[in-house]
Amino acid sequence: MSGVTRYWVAAVVLLLLAQTALAQQSRVTVGSKKFTESVILGELLTQLAASTGTEVEHRSELGGTRVLWSALKRGEIDLYPEYTGTISKEILAGREAATIDEIRTVLAAERIVVSEPLGFNNTYILGMKEDVAEPLGIRAISDLRRHPDLRFGFSNEFMDREDGWPGLRRDYALPQRDVRGMDHDLAYRGLDGGSIDLVDLYSTDAEIQYYGLRALEDDRAHFPRYDAVILYRDDLERRASEVVAALAALEGAITASDMTGMNATAKIENVSEARIAAEFLERRLGLQTDLHEASAWERFWANTVDHLFLVAVSLAGAILVSIPLGVIAVRFRRVGQVILGVVGVIQTIPALALLVFMIPLLGIGAAPAIVALFLYSLLPIVRNTYAGLHDIPRPIVESAIALGLSPRQRLRLVELPLAARSILAGIKTSAVINVGTATLGALIGTGGYGQPILTGIRLDDVGLIMQGAVPAAGLALLCQGAFELAERKFVSKGLRIKAA
C-alpha cells in the first residue's frame, strides 16, 4: 500500500468512526433553547414522554429559535417547547399566521404539529428598575420617547427578531441609540449593576419580582401573545403514539404563576430543572418519575468524553489534510498562495459564526462542530508545514537532489523529518485552540466542557462555570505537555541538541 493510499484509508476509517459515534440516537429526542424556562419545559416533556416507557433523550440548551426549528425540521429532535408569538413573528415571519389555527395550517404543510397551549402566555416585557423609572415618570413603552439617552440592553435574539427591537422601534418611534445585545441571563446583572437602564424580559421570569422591576405597559399592543405550545414532527404520532398521547396531559396544565414559580426555583434556589419538572409532574399530574440526576463526577466524565471526541476527531482530520496541503503549497507556489489564503480566511471567521454556518449543512450536534473545529485547525498546521519545509536550507535540499533521491524519497527521508519540529508546533497550536474553541460546541448541542459553562452562565453559577472552564484549561495544558513529549519521539536528536 502506498503512502498516499494509506493516508486516505486512515481518513475514511476516521470518518466512519465519527459516523458511528454520531449515529447513536434515542427513539424520541426532545430539544430545548438555552434559557431556563425552555430547559424546564424540555424536562417536563422528556419525563412525561419517558413515563410511557419510551427511551427519550433531552438535548437541552441547544441555542436559539433558528437552531431548534432547523433541528426539528431535519428530524434531529422530535419535539420542543415553543411560543405562538415566536412562531408567527420569527419562524413564519412574512407569512400571515397570527392565530393558533392559522399557525397550525401553515405548519401542517411543513409536517409539524402544534399542540394545544400549555396554559401560560410568556410575552416579552420591557423592564426597568423602579428607582430609575419612577423619577422619570416612565410607566408605558411610549413614555420612553421622551428619554432618548436611556441605555438599552437586549437579549441577542431580541435584537434581531421582527417582534423584537426592530419592530418595537418602528411601532413606537423610539429614539434611543445606545442599544446593546447581550445574553438574556446576563442582562439582569447589567440592569442590577446600573450599566443599562432597560432590558427585555420574559413575563414569567423570576427575576422581575426578585429585582423589583417595573414592567412597562405595551400601550400600542406591539407584542403578540406568546402562548407556550409543543411543536412536534407529525411522524411522531406514528413512531411513538403513546408519547403524543401522554403529552396531552400538559395542555392547559401550566399557569403563568406555575411557570414563574418554577423559573424562580431554578434560578434563585438553584434547584435542577430535572427535579423541578419531576416535582411539578407529581404535584399536578400525580405522576411518579424515577428521576436520575447525574452526579458531578458522571457529568464531568460525560463532558470529558464528549470534549475529547470533538477535539480528537477534528484534530486528526486536520492533521491528515493539512500536512499534504502544506507540502503542495511548497511544491507549487501559485497553488500554495491560494491554499494559504483560503485557510487564512477560514481562520478569520469567528468560531461562533463558523459553528452556526454549519447548522444548515449538517444540523446540530457533533457533526457540524467537528467540521467547524476541523476547518479552524487547518491554518496553524498548513502554515507550519509550509514554513518548516520552506525554511530547509538550500544546500541540504540540493545535497539530497544531488544524491539521487527521488522527490518522494526526499520528502519522506529528508524534508518532513527536518520540518517535523515546525509541523508539531503547528499541531500543538491547533490542539490548544481546538480545546478552547470546542467549548462553544455546547451552543449547538455537542456537550463537552462548554455545557457546564453555558449552564453556569444561564444560572449565574460561577461554580458550574468553573466545572467547564478549569478542565478545559487543564486539557489544553495536557495537550501542550503531550506534544512536548511527542517532540522527543518525532524530532531527531540531531535537531534537538546544540553544537558543542
Partner 1 sequence: MSHPTSPVIELKQITKTFGTTRALEGIDLRVEPAQTTVLIGPSGCGKSTLLRLVVGLIGHDAGTASFEGSDITPDNIRALRRRMGYVIQEGGLFPHLTAEWNVVLMARQLGWPERKWRNRLGELAELTRLPMDALGRYPVELSGGQRQRVSLMRALMLDPHVLLMDEPLGALDPMIRYELQVELRGIFRRLGKTVLLVTHDLDEAGFFGDVIVLLRDGRIEQQGTVEELVTNPRSEFVRAFVNAQRSALEPLQGESRS
At 22, give phi and psi (nearest 5°).
-75, -25
Q: Which residues bind partner 1 (CB under 8 A)?
A: 395-396, 398-406, 409, 413-414, 417-418, 420, 491-495, 497-500
The minimum distance between CB 380 and partner 1, in angstroms, equals 22
Half-sphere exposure of 456 (CA within 13 A, CB side): 16
201 φ/ψ angles, rounded to the nearest 5 degrees? -125, 160
Minimum distance from residue 14 beta carbon to partner 1 (Å): 29
Cβ distance to partner 1 smaller for residue 136 or 413: 413
Which 3 state secondary structure label does DSSP give 20?
helix
In terms of CB distance, is 177 or 493 closer to partner 1?
493
Quote the least distance from Cβ 399 to partner 1, whole Å.
Answer: 3
Choose between 160 and 487: whose C-beta lies nearer to partner 1.
Answer: 487
Query: Which helix (H) or strand (E) segment is 359 a member of?
Result: helix 351-362
Of 350 and 494, the one with the shorter C-beta distance to partner 1 is: 494
Alpha carbon 28 to chain centroid, angstroms: 21
Coil/strand/helix, residue 122:
coil
Q: What is the DSSP string of 206-256?
A: THHHHTTEEEPB-TT--S---BEEEEEETTHHHH-HHHHHHHGGGTT---H
Tell me how far, at minimum, the Cβ of 459 lies from partner 1, in Å: 54
Q: Which is nearer to partner 1, 345 or 396 (CB)?
A: 396
Inter-residue long-range contacts of 17-20, CB under 8 Å, 24+ positions, other chains counted:
17/313, 18/313, 18/366, 18/367, 18/370
Looking at the Cβ atoms of 257 and 492, the one nearer to partner 1 is 492
Supply the minimum distance, in Å, between the C-beta of residue 401 and partner 1.
6
In whole angstroms, the minimum distance from the beta carbon of 427 to partner 1 comes to: 18
CB of 402 to partner 1, least distance (A): 4
Query: What 3-state DSSP class applies to 452?
Result: helix
Residue 191, exposed/middle/buried by CB under 10 A (0-12, 13-18, 19+)?
Answer: buried
Q: Select 135 or 395, whichever has its Cβ closest to partner 1.
A: 395
Residue with cell 415618570: 137
State whether residue 126 is helix, strand or coil.
Answer: strand
